[in-house]
Amino acid sequence: MSDNLVKVYDVTLRDGTQGEDISFSIHDKIRIAQKLDELGVHYIEGGWPGSNDRDEGFFEEAKKLKLRKAKFAAFGSTRRAKVTCDDDSNIQALLQSETPAVTIFGKSWDFHVTDALKISLDANLEVIHDSVTYLKERVDEVFFDAEHFFDGFKNNPEYTIKAIKTAHEAGADVLVLCDTNGGTMPWEIESIVKEVNLQLDNPNFGIHTHNDGELGVANTLYAVREGARQIQGTINGYGERCGNANLCSIIPDLKLKLGVDCLDEEELKRLYDTSHFIHELTNLPPIKHRAFVGESAFAHKGGIHVSAVMKNSETYEHVSPEVVGNRRRVLISDLSGRSNILYKAKELGLELDPKDDRVIAILDELKKLENEGYEFEGADASFELLVRKAIGEYRKPFYLKSARTITEKRTEDEDSMTEATLIVQVDGVTEHMAASGNGPVNALDHALRKALEKFYPNLKEVKLKDYRVRVLNTRHGTDAVVRVLIESGDGESNWSTVGVSHNIIEASWKALVDSIDYKILKDEAKKAEKARG
């Protein structure tokens, strides 16, 4: 394989939006394009301007953008069989998008030509030639996506080669070999691409794979090993059916494993941020377990693993998380050993001696609480409070004297109303407060915050970001133990807390109190640090 640059062609804004439950507004697409440009991709396929108003609107807005590195590409099809390029609305829409690059797909599988287009094989070659020639005379770069290329090759290799040869002779800058159905094996990719290189004398070709066989990434890597110089895929592998090849895996595999130049080192460090920024706009569940960019990609739970990682991260990490912008996480659970406790304490700025009896005390308390249903993997703030209590670095900021909630529903059609009443004590001063809310937890949150803001004004910054309830033993029905996880934020950082009880209000209260405690602790630590200098 030569040392030439492999160019990254992102299709998130077109193929990615065909994935189930994914829909981006024009504004979303503009923000994503800017993020992809920051990442350092070479081409951003903005959509199919001839197919819908949203994509046409995007290209109009995209003309106003000044990109750092990337070029926009508009996507469309070859001309229709009985229409000239001048009269083909799709071809003309591509030109009206005014992008420096255009990608058109054409049929390379004889089965699709005869059964889908219902034209002769020679007529299809004519369509490909005319479309590429016409566009190449008017656009800087033209890429030809040979749709169903690998299935076509397996069925009729002679015709499939003719199809890409036609595009090549018409002036296509890159011939993109597509595994459209996503069912080709890596060794088939390898052998077919070798044949393409022989037949066309090492053309400039790219690879576009789908993930229906869970092989989109592997198939792309095999193609690059055989000379592909353009890789197409989506961020996080979004796409129709099982998705497209995942660029968040392909890019680091190329750069870190194969030594192939695609992004520079600083750009690669933006991969995690780009992945999560775009995922946030999909409003889909978290992508914790994705390679390289998932929050669990460098998370360690077993005590033996953590002990080894503390000595040398290479023992259980194939690459350093920082190179892709991710970070190492040590999880706390009943599987934890001393190493986990020491590592987490160090993250908190606490240096504990491995022989310190308090380490064992923390571990014993942790295991006791997890046996009751607590889970600290996703509740770092509650864990920090647990540690600080155990080592004597915790001052209780307030005391609850009483709490009461009343929920009232006056008529069948009227929504319920909830009021919470609290009495709390801070440094000997008693505060009595009432507040209403959308349910008992929301009312308690409002009342507690109002009661404490007089003493701790920064609590006004705290916002509830997420609230999750998990039933731990479903056989008990409404008497089951529940776990409540609350995520809070203050505009500067986010933190998570946990509470467990048979009573959902009590579990919520415990998580809520931990969240307030943590904010006060954080602010007092900042104040002390500022006073020191």
pLDDT tens-digit series, residues 395-408: 899 999 999 999 88
User: Strands 205-209, 429-437: parallel, antiparallel or unpaired by DSSP?
Assistant: unpaired
In this predicted model, what pLDDT tens digit does every residue of 89-99 receive, in sequence order?
A: 999 999 999 99
In this predicted model, what pLDDT tens digit does every residue of 121-169 receive, in sequence order?
A: 999 999 999 999 999 999 999 999 999 999 999 999 999 999 999 999 9
In this predicted model, what pLDDT tens digit does every residue of 203-222 receive, in sequence order?
A: 999 999 999 999 999 999 99
Q: Is the Cα torsion angle 408, 409, 414, 416 positive or negative in sign? A: positive
The reported pLDDT for the residue numbered 1 is 40
Q: What is the DSSP string of 307-328?
A: HHHHH-GGGT-SS-GGGGT---
Residue ranges with strand state E in 122-277: 141-147, 174-179, 205-209, 230-233
In this predicted model, what pLDDT tens digit does every residue of 282-311 receive, in sequence order?
A: 888 778 899 999 888 887 776 677 677 767
Among 527, 499, 492, 495, smallest CA distance to 513 is for 499
Q: Does the structure show a pLDDT above 90 at 116?
A: no
Percent of the chain with pLDDT strictly greater than 90? 62
Question: What's the CATH class of domain 7-263?
Answer: alpha beta
* 324 band by pLDDT with thresholds 50, 70 and 90: very high
Q: Is 181 exposed, middle or buried (0-12, 13-18, 19+ CB in 10 A)?
A: middle
Report the alpha-carbon distance of residue 29 to residue 23 in Å, rounded.
Answer: 10
Q: Which amino acid is at 48?
A: W
* Least confident residue range of 41-45, 379-383, 445-449: 379-383
Residue ranges with strand state E in 127-170: 141-147
Q: Does the structure show a pLDDT above 70 at 476?
A: no
**Ranges of H-type helices in 413-503:** 440-452
Quick one: DSSP state of residue 239? -
In this predicted model, what pLDDT tens digit does every residue of 241-288 receive, in sequence order?
A: 999 999 999 999 999 999 999 999 999 999 999 998 999 888 887 788
The answer to pTM > 0.75 is: no
* HSE (side-chain half, CA atoms, 13 Å) at 260: 27
Average pLDDT over residues 345-365: 78
The reported pLDDT for the residue numbered 66 is 92
Among 444, 408, 394, smallest CA distance to 424 is for 444
The reported pLDDT for the residue numbered 38 is 96
Residue boundaries of the structural domains of the chain: 7-263, 398-455
In this predicted model, what pLDDT tens digit does every residue of 219-242 receive, in sequence order?
A: 999 999 999 999 999 999 999 999
**How many Å is the maximal CA-CA distance in the chain?**
91
- Segment (H or E) for 400: strand 399-408
Q: Residue 41 has which token pair?
A: 């991709």
- Other CB atoms within 10 Å distance of the CB of residue 407: 12
Which CATH fold would you assign to the domain 398-455? Answer: Double Stranded RNA Binding Domain (3.30.160)
- Other CB atoms within 10 Å distance of the CB of residue 231: 28
Q: Does the structure show a pLDDT above 70 at 101?
A: yes
Q: Does the structure show a pLDDT above 50 at 2?
A: no
Q: Is 363 helix (H, G, I), strand (E, B) or coil?
A: helix
